[in-house]
Amino acid sequence: MLLTHATLATMTNGYGLIPDAAVAMDGNRIAWAGPMADLPATYRALPEHDANGRLVTPGLIDCHTHAVFAGHRAVEFELRLNGASYEEIAWAGGGILSTVTATRATSEDTLLALALPRVDQLIASGATTIEVKSGYGLTVTDELKMLRVARRIGLHRPVTVKTTHLAAHAIPPEYKGQPKAYIAEVALPSLRDAYADGLIDAVDAFCETIAFSVEDLAPLFAEARALGLPVKLHAEQLTDQGGAAFAARHAALSADHLEYLSAEGVAAMAAAGTVAVILPGAFYTLRESQLPPITALRDAGVPMAVATDLNPGSSPMASLTLAMNMACTLFRLTPAEALLGTTAHAARALGLADRGRIVPGLRADLCIWDADHPAEISYRIGATPLYKRIFGGHLDA
Ligand code: NIG
Ligand code: FE
């Protein structure tokens, strides 16, 4: 198909704006993009959709979600408002572990039915690619169950789903005080099984005092490397554990959260080309006061991505455009950085070289916005000016 009269933000060189532009698509790929006046004759006969001057961007990419889970944590939200901290709730067996109890008790089909409306909200905010992590099963069987659900989302919705093994998300009660035994007996076997079943694209972990140390995680990242799977890490969210530097040593695709990232961590990420995934929803929900070192990351040339971190505890938020707004207002990203963060840089955080910009040869995932300037996508609070989406060259009704 041929999209005409678009205000294109190609995301090459900042916004890479092209006024009155056309995008020609061949199958699920972009064949040509440029000014209407330069449109080659070969594409003029394609079925046309007139964007009427609307802004067209790459389809948005949510590169960090925990969209598969059962139950909710509204009661903990209330406990926190009555003075308890996220860590206190976690140590008392609540937090992630309360979602683990609910998720273990829920069937694969029900988990899928619970996840799809959340994914629909992400799609409504412009997402055409999402990442989904396991990490609320914490047994071999339940981690595999979650990963099968994550894979099945892509069969029911037009989004691309990248799945991430996150068995090292929390230490379940049966392994309390034994993180190394948990890694050896659950995280590693579930990683091998998930890999053998073709259920995962990457390996993640939660490096934190309430979860795993760098030392605990070394065998897991070694196994990921042996299997040829890329790694990423929840790092420096609540304290500085040297997680980002550890991840960078393993050539991680991304290190995520990063509120407590040190100057050494920034330098290690810059040297390794590891993407900084900024998660303002968790910062906001936990009323964190420590800001991630945005200026240092920017100055070091570390690419920054922005994601929802959609999860029942620290970020019950299913809007990428709200995450972009929060990244701008809370973290002082520019709207151009926020949009790069949900397009080109988010693609890189997932190891996807085939999307995130409007360039010939890349996947034709596009968003058409009722907007004329890309800053409008980040500017509105909780409103998404999305007009239509194109998934792999197909206009979504
Ligand atoms: O990214 N930090 C660890 N994992 C999630 C929290 C998950 C939860 O609280 O259920 C996060 O914030
Ligand atoms: Fe997370």
Instruction: For 92-136, give the DSSP string.
Output: TT-THHHHHHHHHTS-HHHHHHHHHHHHHHHHHTTEEEEEEE--S
- Residue ID of nearest Cα to ligand 1 atom 1: 309
Mean pLDDT across 15-28: 98
User: Average per-residue pLDDT in the chain?
Assistant: 97
239 and 345 assigned to the same domain: yes
Give me the helices (H) in 33-187, please: 74-81, 86-91, 96-104, 108-124, 140-156, 179-182
Mean pLDDT across 52-72: 98
CA 79 and chain centroid, separation: 28
How many whole angstroms separate alpha carbon 7 and alpha carbon 109?
42
Answer yes or no: is pLDDT of 93 > 90.
no
Q: In the chain, pLDDT over 70 holds for what percent of residues?
A: 100
337 and 376 assigned to the same domain: no
Q: Which residue has the tokens 């060189």?
A: 13
CATH number at residue 47: 2.30.40.10
How many whole angstroms separate alpha carbon 256 and alpha carbon 352?
17
323 and 335 assigned to the same domain: yes
DSSP-assigned letter for residue 165: E
Q: Give the count of alpha carbons within 13 A of 222, CB side only.
A: 8
Q: Which residue has the tokens 């989302």?
A: 153
Tell me, what's the pLDDT at 52?
A: 97
Q: Which residue has the tokens 């990351």?
A: 297
93 and 116 assigned to the same domain: yes
Tell me the residue range of the domain where 24 lies.
2-58+357-395
How many whole angstroms separate alpha carbon 230 and alpha carbon 228?
7
- Here the tokens at position 197 are 């079943």
Nearest ligand to the CA atom of 313: 1
Banded model confidence at residue 341, pLDDT cuts 50, 70, 90: very high
- Residue ID of nearest Cα to ligand 1 atom 12: 314
Banded model confidence at residue 31, pLDDT cuts 50, 70, 90: very high
Protein residues with CB under 6 Å of any ligand 1 atom: 66, 95-96, 99, 206, 234, 237, 282, 309, 311-315
40 and 142 assigned to the same domain: no
111 and 158 assigned to the same domain: yes
Q: What count of other Cβ atoms lies within 10 Å of the Cβ of residue 124?
A: 15
- Here the tokens at position 75 are 């009661």
Tell me, what's the pLDDT at 92?
A: 85
136 and 118 assigned to the same domain: yes
pTM, whole model, 2 decimals?
A: 0.97
Nearest ligand to the CA atom of 208: 1
| 349: phi then psi, degrees, rounded to nearest 5 | -65, -20
Ligand 1 pocket mutation, candidates 79, 87, 259, 309, criterion most atoms within 8 A of CB: 309
Ligand 1 pocket mutation, candidates 103, 138, 315, 317, criterion most atoms within 8 A of CB: 315
Which domain-ending residue is among 332, 349, 366? 349
CATH number at residue 66: 3.20.20.140
Banded model confidence at residue 76, pLDDT cuts 50, 70, 90: very high
363 and 283 assigned to the same domain: no
163 and 228 assigned to the same domain: yes
Answer yes or no: is pLDDT of 22 > 80.
yes
Point out the least confidently predicted range of 87-96, 193-202, 246-255. 87-96
Ligand 1 pocket mutation, candidates 146, 209, 234, criterion most atoms within 8 A of CB: 234
Q: Which atom of ligand 1 is least distant from the CA of 206? A: 3
Tell me, what's the pLDDT at 255?
A: 99
Q: Which of 30, 9, 35 lies closest to 20 in space, CA to CA?
A: 35
The residue that leads in pLDDT, 382 or 381, is: 381
Cα–Cα–Cα angle for 48, 53, 56, rounded to 5 degrees: 75
How many whole angstroms separate alpha carbon 185 and alpha carbon 281?
33
43 and 74 assigned to the same domain: no
75 and 198 assigned to the same domain: yes
Tell me, what's the pLDDT at 397?
A: 65
Could you tell me which residues come within 8 angstroms of residue 14 by beta carbon, excluding any fewer than 6 positions away?
336, 340
261 and 370 assigned to the same domain: no
Beta partners for residue 318, in sequence order: none
- Residue ID of nearest Cα to ligand 1 atom 9: 313
Mean pLDDT across 251-260: 98
Helical pair 188-196 and 214-227, crossing angle rounded to 10 deg = 20
The domain tally of the chain equals 2
Tell me, what's the pLDDT at 169?
A: 98
Tell me, what's the pLDDT at 91?
A: 87
Cα–Cα–Cα angle for 42, 369, 57, rounded to 5 degrees: 55
Q: Which atom of ligand 1 is least distant from the CA of 237? A: 2
